[in-house]
Chains A and B, each alone.
Chain A
Amino acid sequence: MDITNLKGYEIAKKIKDKEIKAIEVTEAFLERTKKIDNVLGGYLNIYEENAREEAKKIDAKNEKNEDIGILGGVPIAIKDNIAVKDMKMTCASKILENYVSPYDATSTTLLKNSGAIIIGKCNMDEFAMGSSNENSAFKLAKNPYDIDSVPGGSSGGSAVVVSSRQVPISLGSDTGGSVRQPAAYTGTYGLKPTYGAVSRYGLTSFGSTLDQIGIFSRDIKDMAMTFNAISKYDKHDFTSKNKKNEDYLLNIDNSIKGKKIGVPVEYFGEGLDSETRKAIENSIEILKSLGAEICECSLSLSKYALATYYILSSAEASSNLARFDGIRYGYRDLSEDNIKDLYTSSRMNGFGDEVKRRIMLGTYVLSKGYYDEYYKKGLKVRRLIRDEFLKKFEEFDLILSPTTPKSAFKIGAKAGDVLSMYLEDIYTVPVNIAGIPAISIPCGFSNGKPVGLQLMSNFFNESLLFNAANEFDKIYKFNEKSSELYGGEFL
């Protein structure tokens, strides 16, 4: 039995039933990482000894028949913008190269309380700004299906370590598509929860009204199980929703017969490649065969979402990133002897180009004379876009689209072309503007690399996303296709 092939929930059960030990599980995944991480670059820091110690604690508890938690002994990786106490949190930026988190993010605490073993911190685009992981200040991450292609971003590393079986589950963050796009590119499931469903306490802020911590997995039940663990009210985040805890596994095997699914025509325009289109059409046929009612619809304002996003996210980022000033933590340019030059020089040398570009854009749209024209306009359009979604959800249970227009592009292919990189998020950004949840489901291949099907639902209806994804894959069986066709050394 190759432990790294097991699903997360199977691992949890086998450990609880004392068929295998948590330490054997951790060792198996660490060994796989040792073999392939140097090529794929999914991790920025790996904490082997800590993982072994925690795994042994789980085994000791289990020996005494104590509760080991729903994720007891399951290895998990965490994006490097989410705080884990006593581990580095660099956000893949030079300005935080030596920063060590003094506290746990709430999602980290909840994972630890559920018995998860944290293996390491994942590579990403600097401060989560990017769609290819090429903006990491430290190293590239590579797509396990084709190591000359990007894994997507910004949570590229979190996608790579799950896709290549170095962990069954990981956390990322999604501000404009940063979980769903890399999930689509690496043949994994990627969830962007409802805004407010997962606490942002301990997540390094980028666009505070758009950011959500999300989940990667190779199995939909693993995702629901992890969401059970981390979707909880947190008084440390005032935007966290105080709602009753739900069991997201409860309805996962329900029939989706009679569910109404809207297919917005605007998400199938030019730019969508023919193989991706075919994969989505095939997915629609599968959903029809399961009894779902598919109907064309229109989300005419979605075409304004990307412009709205770049105004709002950059504005929020320019304000959030003001805290990196070289004074209390992070990189400080010691050669400067007046305070203003110290700020400026520390930030100039600490931030990469994409981060600088967004701070400049954000500062510009917030500055006197441009605030109304850009920022306020963006906030108004945001309401129009959200209201259009809410209206559609009076009619439909789900909205369906491709996650991305194409499969993963080659490393370097979009270097220097800002807009073409931003257009990567064209189908994912509207969801963040509206605040609703969405999932990317592996649904086919284009150019020999995976593509994703995106399902969106109304506020706090993640349960239906898991249910539909689960029923879909019972027919489609992505993992079988993937291993038959592309069972190379990294998968």
Chain B
Amino acid sequence: MSVNREDIEYTLELAKLSVEEDKVNGFIDDINKILEYVDDLKELDTENVEVLINPYEYENVFREDDIEASLSIKEVFLNSENRFDNYFVVPRVIE
């Protein structure tokens, strides 16, 4: 399996990402090298193997639904320069 320019453009679109034009081919080469390397996994028969997401399998974790303080509005906006009153300012989304 190898990726071409079209695949990469589709992937970038999904990831809301872009790369400089002069670097695109380099990225395609790198990703193909990695995909070629990971293709080794196909040697393994995993037909009847269950997936394992967390290495240490947890039972359902419950806790009391206690009310706790969360960050203050002041703290929440500490890292934003794009504020109007208690709102984050973004470009118009709806025409």
Contacts and interface: CB of A to CB of B under 8 A. Distances in A.
Contacts, number: 161
Contacts of B71: 102-103
B75 A102 contact: yes
A327 B34 contact: no
A196 B18 CA distance: 35
Interface residues of B, number: 53
Contacts of A209: 53-55
A344 interface: yes
B38 A339 contact: no
A367 B8 CA distance: 12
A218 B50 CA distance: 41
A384 B15 contact: no
Given A337-B91, A381-B41, A348 B34 contact: no
Contact of A380 (B1, B23, B37, B49): B49
Contacts of A38: none
B16 A340 contact: yes
B38 A374 contact: yes
A195 B56 contact: yes
Contacts of A379: 51-53
Contact of A235 (B8, B63, B90): B63
A329 B80 contact: yes
Contacts of B51: 376, 379-380, 382-383
B55 to A, nearest CB: 2
B67 interface: no
A414 interface: no
Contacts of B1: 373
A451 to B, nearest CB: 25
B14 A367 contact: yes
B53 to A, nearest CB: 6
Contacts of B38: 307-308, 310-311, 374, 378
Interface string B11-42: 11011111110010001001101110111111
A465 to B, nearest CB: 17
Interface string A319-343: 0001001011110100011111011
A143 interface: no
Contacts of A194: 56
A360 interface: yes
B17 A339 contact: no
A361 interface: yes
Contacts of B35: 361
B56 A241 contact: yes
A303 B54 CA distance: 20
Contacts of B14: 363, 367
Contacts of B39: 307
B91 A364 contact: no
A125 to B, nearest CB: 16
Contacts of A367: 10-11, 14
Interface stretch (A2-10, A351-359, A442-450): A351-359
Contacts of A311: 38, 41
Contacts of A359: 15, 17
Given A235-B63, A360-B12, A383 B52 contact: yes
Contact of B17 (A235, A356, A380, A419): A356
A219 to B, nearest CB: 29
Given A307-B37, A379-B52, 19 more contacts: A327-B82, A328-B76, A342-B91, A344-B17, A348-B18, A353-B23, A356-B19, A357-B31, A360-B12, A360-B31, A364-B31, A376-B51, A377-B41, A383-B50, A383-B51, A418-B34, A419-B34, A419-B37, A422-B37
9 contacts: A103-B71, A235-B63, A307-B41, A339-B91, A348-B17, A364-B31, A379-B51, A381-B49, A418-B33
